[in-house]
């Protein structure tokens, strides 16, 4: 499938007020796209729009509210590329686990993304064109210490993208699972543990754009962290658990 270009519609990016989402918006503008940006924080979106007059369309919404998502999309031009990036992270372990913490992350990371998919897939299918990127995480490739709820939601996004790909490809629509490692953002700024291969947000945005432009299904980076994790995940659990525990001190 040929990925869409900047002249074929707008790029819609959720979670665009900071971190990877903001960097993705800036990178798409730099590559000639008109970008629609969605987040709850309207002031940050409007500030971005002022920096790029006519190139950034402000479409604020809380993606956990399906009516708000539909209202944000209604006035926009056709969407050629949607990068569903909005999400959150709350650290948890067995001794701090609560259903409420899991529910908050499911509501935003998984169900919120589903609201966006529900809103955009019918028009892309009807047009037989378009591209969708679901921003998961390397933590979605394997359950990691300290991220029981987060890993569960991000693994769900990968499985969702895998399943949808079978149908969407028949309609000329592409979909990718995007799995970043540690990226500097307000969320990772809260972490007190070592974060190997910590990346700047603009470097992450460039890696995502390269993957989408190449129509790759799994866009996992940085390679120095993604490759060992994929190898470890293929090993028997008797090997996987001790090695992950040793590498993360989990």
Task: Tell me the pairing of strands 131-135 and 218-221.
Answer: unpaired
What is the set of active-site residues? Answer: 150
Nearest to 19 by CA among 136, 177, 189, 148: 189
Tell me the pLDDT of the chain averaged across its residues: 93
Q: Residue 174 domain-assigned?
A: yes
pTM over 0.85? The answer is: yes
Q: Residue 213 domain-assigned?
A: yes
For residues 146 and 139, the answer to whether their CB atoms sit within 8 Å is no
The set of residues, in sequence order, having a beta carbon less than 8 Å from that of 241 and lying 6+ positions away, is none
Confidence of residue 144 (pLDDT cuts 50, 70, 90): confident
pLDDT at 239: 87
For residues 230 and 138, the answer to whether their CB atoms sit within 8 Å is no
Is residue 105 reached through a cis peptide bond, with omega within 30 degrees of 0 on the bond before it? no
Strand order in the sheet with 35-38: 56-58, 35-38, 10-14, 79-84, 131-135, 174-180, 218-221
Range of lowest pLDDT (8-22, 110-124, 190-204): 190-204
The set of residues, in sequence order, having a beta carbon less than 8 Å from that of 57 and lying 6+ positions away, is 10, 34, 35, 36, 37, 49, 76
Q: Residue 48 domain-assigned?
A: yes
**Secondary structure element (H or E) that encloses residue 140, with its range:** none
Instruction: Give tens-digit pLDDT for 154-181.
Output: 999 999 999 999 999 999 999 999 999 9
Instruction: Give tens-digit pLDDT for 99-108.
Output: 999 999 999 9
Determine if residue 249 is left, alpha or beta; phi over 0 gives left, psi from -120 to 50 gives alpha, anything else beta. left
Rounded-to-integer distance, Cα 40 and Cα 247, Å:
36
Query: Coil, strand or helix: which one is 94?
Result: coil
Tokens of 118: 């529900």
Specify the number of domains making up the chain.
1
Instruction: Give tens-digit pLDDT for 224-238.
Output: 889 988 998 888 989
Nearest to 145 by CA among 113, 187, 191, 105: 191
pLDDT at 100: 97
Quick one: how far is CA 41 from the chain centroid? 18
Nearest to 81 by CA among 31, 40, 149, 45: 31
For residues 49 and 56, the answer to whether their CB atoms sit within 8 Å is yes
Tokens of 227: 């490759």
CATH no. for residue 94?
Answer: 3.40.50.720
Range of lowest pLDDT (53-62, 129-138, 184-193): 184-193
Average pLDDT over residues 5-32: 95
The set of residues, in sequence order, having a beta carbon less than 8 Å from that of 50 and lying 6+ positions away, is none
Angle, CA 14 vertex, CA 143 and CA 124 arms, to 5°:
100
Q: Residue 1 domain-assigned?
A: no
Is the pLDDT at 250 greater than 60? The verdict is no
Is the pLDDT at 80 greater than 90? The verdict is yes
Confidence of residue 95 (pLDDT cuts 50, 70, 90): very high
Rounded-to-integer distance, Cα 220 and Cα 223, Å:
7
pLDDT at 6: 87
pLDDT at 82: 98
Q: Residue 237 domain-assigned?
A: yes
Domain ranges, residue 119: 6-248
């Amino acid at each position: 499938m040929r990925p869409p270009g900047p002249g074929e519609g707008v790029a819609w990016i959720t979670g665009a007020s900071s971190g990877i989402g903001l960097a993705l918006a800036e990178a798409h503008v730099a590559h000639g796209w008109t970008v629609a940006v969605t987040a709850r924080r309207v002031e940050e979106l409007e500030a971005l729009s002022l920096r790029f007059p006519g190139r950034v369309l402000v479409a604020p919404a809380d993606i956990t509210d399906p009516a708000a998502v539909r209202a944000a999309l209604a006035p926009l031009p056709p969407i050629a590329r949607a990068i569903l990036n909005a999400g959150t992270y709350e650290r948890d372990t067995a001794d701090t686990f609560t259903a409420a913490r899991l529910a908050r992350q499911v509501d935003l990371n998984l169900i919120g993304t589903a609201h966006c998919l529900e809103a955009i897939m019918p028009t892309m299918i009807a047009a037989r064109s378009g591209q969708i990127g679901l921003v998961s995480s390397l933590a979605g490739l394997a359950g990691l210490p300290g991220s029981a709820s987060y890993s569960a939601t991000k693994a769900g996004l990968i499985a969702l993208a895998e399943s949808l790909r079978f149908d969407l490809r028949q309609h000329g629509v592409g979909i990718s699972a995007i799995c970043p490692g540690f990226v500097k953002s307000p969320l990772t700024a809260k972490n007190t543990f070592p974060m190997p291969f910590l990346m700047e947000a603009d470097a992450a945005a460039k890696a995502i754009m390269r993957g989408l432009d190449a129509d790759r299904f799994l866009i996992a980076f940085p390679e120095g962290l993604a490759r060992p994790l994929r190898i470890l995940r293929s090993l028997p659990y008797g090997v996987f658990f001790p090695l992950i525990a040793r590498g993360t001190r989990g």
